[in-house]
Amino acid sequence: MSSDKPLVSFRNYSFQYFAQAEPTLKGIDLDIFPGEKILIVGPSGSGKSTLGNCINGLIPFSYKGEATGSVKINGKETSEMSLFELSKTVGTVLQDPDGQFVGLTVAEDIAFSLENQCVLQDEMIETVKRVAQTVDMDHHLLNSPFELSGGQKQRVGLAGVMVDDVELFLFDEPLANLDPATGKTAIDLIDRIGREYNKTVVIIEHRLEDVLYRHVDRIVVIHEGRIVADMNADKLLAEGVLPPLGIREPLYVTALRYCGVKITEDLKPASSGTLNYDRVKDAVRSWYEAQPALPEEEYGEEILRAKNIRFAYNRDNEILKGIDFSIRAGEMVAIVGTNGAGKSTLAKAVCALVKNVSGDFYFEGDCINDLTIKERALHIGYVMQNPNQMICKSMIFDEVALGLKLRGYSEEEIQIRVHEALRTCGLYEMRNWPVSALSFGQKKRVTIASMLALCPKILILDEPTAGQDYYHYTEIMEFLRSLNKSGVTILMITHDMHLMLEYTTRALVVNDGKIIFDGSSVEALTKAEIAEAANLKLTSLHELALRCSISDTQSFIRQFIHYERQIRQKDPA
């Protein structure tokens, strides 16, 4: 392939945003050849999205900054082309499948690029139909975006760039907004389209294991603006490039390392499908058998009980259909389920954020049905997915103090409580900073602190780690774990299987308005029918255990998690 001319070619390229003090990309040399499938990985802020923007032309055309060196597409310097010209070669599918859905209906969104090129209507209708078929959306042409799932919206996004017969597909974090099962389908689709139409594919993503579910030719690792590795997946995993950079390896690879297996290229570790299990079997088994029995977790009294909870926005469409559960003090519970299954509504019902809920809620044995939103917030705090939706003051102290001020607490009391909450969240030193100076993860903590200031006994978090890389994910989750250890009961709505496995002992699986499973998280991720109903995937550890003839896969997974936690405590990444 190297005899071909590269489709994309970076030569000693550096880029610095005008607003930034330092270059985001430094001395990039990279060739992407026609027909290749490349994965670009790197932690948040490493510059991987910036690299993507250099390929699709948002840099230099939309984001301004200073560039040195060269980026060529098909031998032509991108800065001498136009965004429009580039869009005929590079088709970009952005991270947020909803935000990039510009049209009022599926068909219009797919046709958007054609409309802009003044393609005649009859031809447009023909093309849209053909392309919609290839992504299996031809039965939804008249649907509006509100009627589609995240995965369907993403397929529309893909169709929207396919109409142009581009040479290169660029996917910016295609998995970020999808649940694991839909993510798997998306990776399949990307693979199929790339092969069938012989296109070059570039995927920017940090969820390595999920992308490696299908073959990729090369992985390019970006760290602090530089390319630190550029090789095939097997070699990359064998060399162990990723863990020191804070990028998570596939779970089974980590497990193998714990078992004392030396990862080599010929083990084919790139995917759980290609791995040579025969050669690792003995090591895995002997590691598993050598682990001591795990201590049982202990919990306190029942703190929250839901009895026959029902809710409907309108008469025909009941969203919660009789939900019962009981949570004990000190638990950390995952609420999982497909989009629209009712898990967010359930969380909102607990906090009285939706009205006309029938059924009873008991908090520490007392019925709380008659408490208003404001009163319930003193017992149960609700943290939204996007901290930008919660923060309304410009200074950190004021933001955290808001709930107390509105409840008329005295100045001294507010000061004490806010400082306490800020200390717990590791933000005390920053108490007089403006919120705008914080990173996403820090903002998340501010929103948690503003809830903690009210001293609730239960916290409910909606997707606490959505869109975070492994480093920030660990930071947020370890914090929540320490909060949990200090006595706060935590419920989390999540799609993240790793989060469930590692941090929650119990999962409530919601499907079609009912709880279909209430038991250990590990069990939920090793039982096919439950994982399927919640749009989760079975974890690769389950497969590893099975292929190594360990029948109690749940126990194996628990041992793995326990072992990993001990390692992390010794050496916090």
Partner 1 sequence: MNTKLFDYVERHNFIYDLSGVTKFLCFMIAGAAVMFTYDIRVMIVVFVVSVIAFFLSRITFRQIRVMVAYVAIFILMNIVLTFLFNPQYGVEIYGTKHVLFTITQRYTLTSEQLLYQVSKVMKYCSIIPLGMIFILATHPSEMASSMNRIGIPYKATYALALTLRYFPDVIRDYQDISVAQQARGLDLSRKERFASRIKNVLNICVPLIFTTLDRIELISNAMDLRGFGMQKKRTWYCAKKLTKNDYLSIGICVLLLLLSVAVSIFVNHSRYYNPFI
Shorter beta-carbon distance to partner 1: residue 208 or 454? 454
Applying CB under 8 A, the span of 91-99, 208-216, 267-275, 513-521 interacting with partner 1 comes to 91-99
- Six token digits for residue 292: 């001591």
Kindly state whether residue 203 participates in binding partner 1, applying the rule CB under 8 A: no
CB neighbour class for 386 (10 Å; exposed up to 12, middle 13-18, buried from 19): middle
DSSP H or E segment with residue 60: helix 58-61
Q: How far is the CB of 484 from partner 1 (least distance, A)?
A: 21
Q: For strands 65-73 and 37-41, give the pairing.
A: unpaired
What CA–CA distance (Å, rounded) separates 116 from 215? 35
Scanning 187-195, 259-267, 380-388, 508-516 for contacts with partner 1 by CB under 8 A, the matching segment is 380-388
Sequence-distant (≥ 6) Cβ neighbours of residue 157 within 8 angstroms = 93, 94, 97, 100, 101, 109
Query: To the nearest whole angstrom, how small is the minimum distance from the Cβ of residue 437 to partner 1?
Result: 15
Task: Mark 152-191 with x for binding to partner 1 (rule: CB under 8 A) and - for no binding.
Answer: --------xx------------------------------
Binding to partner 1 by residue 349, rule CB under 8 A? no
Among 5, 279, 407, 568, binds partner 1 (CB under 8 A): 407
Rule CB under 8 A: choose which of 38, 128, 421, 538 binds partner 1.
128
Footprint of partner 1 on residues 300-339 (CB under 8 A)? 313
Nearest distance, CB of residue 82 and partner 1, angstroms: 7
SS3 per residue for 535-570: CCCCCHHHHHHHHCCCCCHHHHHHHHHHHHHHHHHH
Q: Please, which residue, 94 or 242, has the CB nearer to partner 1?
A: 94
Residue 382 binds partner 1, judged by CB under 8 A: yes
Name which of 283, 259, 255, 280 is nearest 268 in CA terms: 280
Decide: is 92 part of the binding site for partner 1 (CB under 8 A): yes
Report the residue number, 125 or 466, with the smaller CB distance to partner 1.
125
Checking DSSP bridges between strand 489-493 and strand 8-17, what pairing results, if any? unpaired
Q: Is 408 helix (H, G, I), strand (E, B) or coil?
A: coil
146: contact with partner 1 by CB under 8 A: yes
* Interface residue with partner 1, options 70, 79, 116, 274 (CB under 8 A): 116
Asked if residue 201 lies in contact with residue 168, where contact means CB atoms within 8 angstroms, the answer is yes
Q: What is the DSSP letter of 275?
A: -
> Are the C-beta atoms of residues 459 and 383 closer than 8 Å to each other?
yes
Distances (CA, A) of 465 to 33, 89, 319, 388, 484: 35, 34, 25, 14, 16
Residue count at the site for partner 1 (CB under 8 A)?
A: 65
145 makes contact with partner 1 (CB under 8 A): yes
Contact flag: residue 258 with partner 1 (CB under 8 A): no
- Please, what is the angle between helix 180-196 and helix 150-162, to 10°? 20
Select the span of 202-210, 223-231, 384-392, 489-497 touching partner 1 (CB under 8 A).
384-392
> How many Cα atoms are found within 13 Å in the side-chain-facing hemisphere of 81?
23
Site for partner 1, residues 21 to 60, rule: CB under 8 A? 56-58
Regarding 126 and contact with partner 1 (CB under 8 A), the answer is no
Could you say which of 19, 21, 118, 437 contacts partner 1 (CB under 8 A)? 118
Q: Which of 27, 45, 69, 125 binds partner 1 (CB under 8 A)?
A: 125
By CB atoms closer than 10 A (0-12, 13-18, 19+), residue 371 is middle
Tokens standing for residue 230 = 């550029």
Select 109 or 469, whichever has its Cβ closest to partner 1: 109
Q: Which helix (H) or strand (E) holds 133?
A: helix 121-134
Contact map string, positions 412 to 451, toward partner 1, x by CB under 8 A: --------------------------------------x-
Residue 65 touches partner 1, criterion: CB under 8 A: no
The Cβ of residue 481 has, within 10 Å, a number of other Cβ atoms equal to: 17
Tell me which H or E stretch contains 424: helix 411-424
CA distance 396 to 427: 9
Q: Which pair of structure tokens corresponds to residue 550?
A: 């360990």
User: Quick one: which of 105, 134, 143, 291 contacts partner 1 (CB under 8 A)?
Assistant: 105
Binding site for partner 1 (CB under 8 A): 56-58, 61-62, 82-84, 87, 92, 94, 96, 98-105, 107-108, 111-121, 124-125, 128, 145-146, 160-161, 313, 348, 351, 353-354, 373-374, 376-377, 381-382, 384, 386, 388-393, 402-403, 406-407, 450, 454
